[in-house]
Structure 1
Amino acid sequence: IILKGGHYLDKIDKAGTASLMANLMTQGTKNKTPLELEEAIDNLGASINVFAGADGISISTNTLERNYDAVLALVEEILLEPRWDEEEFALAKTAIQNGLMRQKANPNSLASQAFNKLIYGDGHILSIDRQGTVESVSSITIDDLKDYYNSNISPSVAFFTVAGQINQQKVMASLSKLAEKWTEKEVVFPEYSLPEQPSESKIYFIDVPGAKQSVISIGNLGLARTDPDYYLTTVMNYKLGGSFNSFINTVLREEKGFTYGARSSFNGSFVPGTFIASSSVRSTATLESVEIFKNLMETYKDVVSDEDLRFTKDALIKSNARNFETLWALNGMLRDMGTYNLPADYIRNEENAVKNLTLEQLKELAVKYIHPDKMYYVVVGDAETQLKELEKVGFGKPVLYQ
């Protein structure tokens, strides 16, 4: 069961509510203690997980077909009869707070948080980690979880996916029973304005004294998954930084040996996501790595070739045949259809779009969406040895970001 919203429906001063609520939903129900619920799931040889992401909450199960009805009954109990156990709430809250405290010392987390804050601005919920901040989680009470549940857990924003050896008639009959018990309500999705994107690039530096590595995140606001250009921009990016054999990974990893991996990607949901190019490199290679990212993005539209396009087409079309071999993968395809209102043949449509893509069209997409002169450059590393050096990139004096 997928419920649209997730972290996006959190209040900014209570960021992390959806995540904390999702953690608590499998810790017992109205009529089952946490241990009793765990035993009931185990006795069926099943798994039930609840997860709150940036744009939705998923209740996912894995079960034998013969136990489908019994497992769905447990899902129904979890969904409609939460326990709101105060002790489990306190434990879950403490665990999340401890994790967030650890993130403050994690260079990758620091880079991600700064990057999202720059892209979306302070007033946007997506500028904050889906688990919230130490401060926001500290302020969350169990009544906040109940308020989120009562306002946002509704069949009006839900859809159901199933993959396996089970007939449609049985599934539809089982869901009709759930529909009778689940009260529909209007869910209000907030509208956020997006800050003006940079007219010129700037480097933002986060100091981790003595760091032996630098984390680099470069990018800007991207596209929503629903944008007509979205899929083909991911195809365009494949040879730039979307695969192991991409230009970015080949230069930074294979030729220079600066890193174990470097990449770029477009990410989007029902709201605009980001374009990001990123890597962790040894500290002494920070300046050269930033310059390599910049130069590869600048020249991509000029150097990408027919051979590169053939490589991209072959790789994507062949991998598609393997991408939907498992039930989880098929369920993921169904989830995308439900979340983004995609047609049942969207995979075939995407394959045809790849087959028909010309080099000229690929270059046009690169010109349209890859702007290394109008991006945020976030670097986390040792300021004493790297901050001054980064002035040589040509974007002025780096900003020491707090």
Structure 2
Amino acid sequence: MRSRLFSLVALSLLGGTPLLHAQGAALPASTTPPRLAAPKALQLPTMVERTLPNGLRLVIVEQHELPVVDAQLVIRTGTEADPAGKAGLATLTANMLDEGAGSRDALALAEEIGFLAVRLGTFAALEQSTVSLHSTRTTLDSAMALMADVVLRPTFPEKEFTRLKSERLTALLQEQDRGPAMADRAFSALVFGEAHPYGRSVNGTRESVEPMGLDEVKQFWRTYYRPNNATLVLVGDLSVNEAQALATAAFGGWERGTVPPVTYARAQAPSSTSIHIVDKPKAAQSSFRIGTIGVPRRTADYYPLMVMNTALGGSFTSRLNNTLREVKGYTYGAGSSFSMRREAGPFTARAEVVSAKTDSALIEFMKELRGMRTPMPADELAKVKRYLRLGYADGFESTSDIASQVAGLVPTGLPLSTLGAFDAGIARVTAADVQRVAARYLDPTKLRIVIAGDRASIEPALKATKIAPVDVRDMRGRPVLVP
């Protein structure tokens, strides 16, 4: 009897017969989902600010649960400072930092990182360049000294520069055969213009990277990698005084300098909707990028926009994903986002759609964008706000998470108190707020619609939708003459 019951239970778990009570009666099916408790207020750790005499700002967060420390050094300059015709310079500069530093060449540096069992990374984005470190408490002194070598004493070996540049050129060539990358590049250029930093790829182009020399990399580093242009975030198992002493020992001798401001003209949002095809012959799918210029991170509409976008395309159960994936089956996933930067970044709705349904998918995209401008039902509003409030704590689970959250405030200059204001900010959002920001920022008559796909098969159907005029562009957004 016991073996028979065991078999029935096992079969049930594998999707066979219903699970039985010991007496043989079937368990009742559950038809009511569990009730979620009200979101609890998130208690953030204390964040302490200090400034070294050379101008380096410190943000220190004590977390003593585990003997680890995460550090992020954020330079408040990124690819936006790439000179005209030199797109990709900031990212190449960041990539070169750990290719040899202090007395170590690239191989010796990699061996030291392995010996200390630390993680060290360097990268650049639009508005920042970052060096990150994860270390145990016992190896922190040595790890911080290594990090300081990478930031203050990179050797910029010619051999490694040649290799990195060759890898970059190969990657740029590969992008020309990838629909999503083609759509991303063309969309940015069409929304902001190629002359605007937001309209260029952070990796540059073949024309900008190929002639780039090592002296230009060194000059970018000398100009922008200065303590008075940087913030060091330290999170983990150390006291404020210990953190300040470590930072002083590692970076106290870093010389401050005059950092030129980065300026550029403000981009103009489109005045009408247009459809632009980036031709990828015989492509099995079409890469959609739909949007316009959005808002800067400092916008007063931040919280209503978070709620509105989460409902539209910011979660798996969003309207776009539900319609295009679950109901229609056109894609594996669809979504939307506001990239909020120091200045207004893009609003983008996106999906990779089976080619035969390109026109149908566009119709559904436009329906959902229009529908977002009508009042949001109370149950949907409550669900979205709960989703955001409950999920916010995920960003503070580890020392690395906390460091990233703090570092994310640096480029925009937002105060540390911003992190603790999220829960109350989302809780205050009303349906009227959501409708107001949707009406203001989601105008279906003023969009750039970029679709990278097989022009021969998708162009006639796109024109037949009569949603907007259709033309053909290359992956930089430039017009293409077609027969």
State the TM bucket, normalised to the shorter chain: over 0.9
Shift of 1:179: 4.2
- The residue number in structure 1 matching 2:396 is 324
How much does 1:396 deviate?
A: 4.1
**C-alpha distance in structure 1 between counterparts of 2:168 and 2:218, whole Å:** 18
Aligned with 1:130 (options 189, 202, 216): 202
Aligned residue in 2 for 1:362: 434
Q: Moved runs in structure 1, 4+ residues, more than 4 A? A: none
Q: Which residue of 1 aligns with 2:473?
A: 401
1:83 equivalent in structure 2: 155
2:223 pairs with 1:151: yes
CA distances 1:121-146 after superposition (whole Å, capped 9, x unpaired):
12112211111111111011000101
* Among candidates 161, 164, 185, match of residue 233 of structure 2: 161
Task: Report 1:301-340 matches (<5 A).
Answer: 301-302=373-374, 304-340=376-412
Give the Å deviation of 1:302: 1.5
231 and 139 in structure 1: CA distance in 2 versus 1, 3 angstrom threshold: farther
C-alpha separation in 1, matches of 2:328 and 2:239:
54
**Matched residue type, 1:17:** L
Q: Could you tell me whether the CA contact under 8 Å between 2:273 and 2:468 is conserved in 1?
A: no
1:102 alignment counterpart:
174
2:115 is the counterpart of 1:43: yes
Contact 2:75 2:130 in 1 (8 A): yes
1:345 aligned partner: 417
Rate the CA distance shift 1:308–1:104 in 2: closer, same or farther, 3 A. same
Q: Percent identity?
A: 27
Are the aligned partners of 1:2 and 1:159 in contact in 2 as well (CA < 8 Å)? yes
| C-alpha deviation, 1:312, in angstroms | 0.7
How far is 1:303 from its partner? 5.2
Superposition deviation, residue 381 in structure 1? 0.8
Letter in 1 for 2:268: E
Given that residues 5 and 189 in structure 1 are in contact (C-alpha distance below 8 angstroms), is that contact kept between their aligned partners in structure 2? no
Whether 2:299 is the aligned partner of 1:227: answer yes
The equivalent of 2:447 in structure 1 is 375
Q: Structure 2 residue aligned with 1:299, among 355, 371, 376?
A: 371
- Contact 1:152–1:187 (8 Å) recurs in 2: yes
Counterpart Cα distance in 1 of 2:417 and 2:469: 50
Asked if the contact 1:12/1:125 (under 8 Å) is kept, the reply is: no
* Alignment of 1:171 onto 2:243: yes
Larger deviation, residues 258-267 vs 345-354: 345-354
Letter in 2 for 1:84: F
Q: CA deviation at 1:330?
A: 0.7
Cα contact 2:290–2:447 (8 A) shared by 1 = yes
| More helix per residue | 1
Q: Mark the runs of 5 or more structure 1 residues left unpaired by the alignment.
A: none
C-alpha contact (below 8 Å) 2:76/2:410 kept by paired residues: no
Q: 1:190 to 1:346 in 2, by over 3 A?
A: closer
Matched, 1:282 2:359: no
CA distance in 2, matches of 1:36, 1:208: 44
Q: Deviations over 1:295-332 (max 9, x none)?
A: 11012121521111000111111112333111221111
Identify the residue that residue 313 of structure 2 maps to in structure 1. Answer: 241
Report the counterpart of residue 458 of structure 2 in structure 1.
386
TM-score (norm 1): 0.97
1:389 is displaced (CA, Å) by: 1.1
1:227 positional shift = 2.0
What secondary structure does 1:63 align onto?
strand
- The letter of the residue matching 1:101 is L
Match of 1:261 in 2: 333
8 Å CA contact 1:113–1:128 kept in 2: the answer is yes
Q: Is residue 274–residue 468 contact of structure 2 (8 Å, CA) maintained in 1? A: yes
**Mapped partners of 2:90, 2:393: distance in 1:** 35
In structure 2, the gaps of 5 or more residues are 1-72, 475-483
Q: Is the 8 A contact 2:375 2:435 kept in 1?
A: no
Q: Output the amino acid matched with 2:235.
A: A
AA at the equivalent of 1:135: E
Whether the aligned pair in 2 keeps the contact of 1:336 and 1:342 (CA below 8 Å) is no
Greater shift, 335-344 or 132-141, is seen at 335-344
1:26-37 alignment, distance < 5 Å? 26-37=98-109
CA distance in 1, matches of 2:226, 2:384: 41
Residue 20 of structure 1, aligned match among 92, 101, 105: 92
Q: CA deviation at 1:334?
A: 1.1
Distance 1:174 1:327 in 2: 17
Q: CA RMSD, aligned part only?
A: 1.3
Distance in 1 separating the partners of 2:345 and 2:362: 22
CA distance in 2, matches of 1:288, 1:108: 19
Mapped to 2, the partners of 1:327 and 1:202 lie a distance apart of: 45
Q: Retained in 2: the 8 A contact 1:117–1:127?
A: yes
**AA matched with 2:277:** F
Kindly indicate whether the alpha-carbon contact (under 8 Å) linking 1:49 and 1:60 is maintained by their aligned counterparts in 2.
Answer: yes
Asked whether the 8 Å contact 1:237–1:265 carries over to 2, the reply is yes
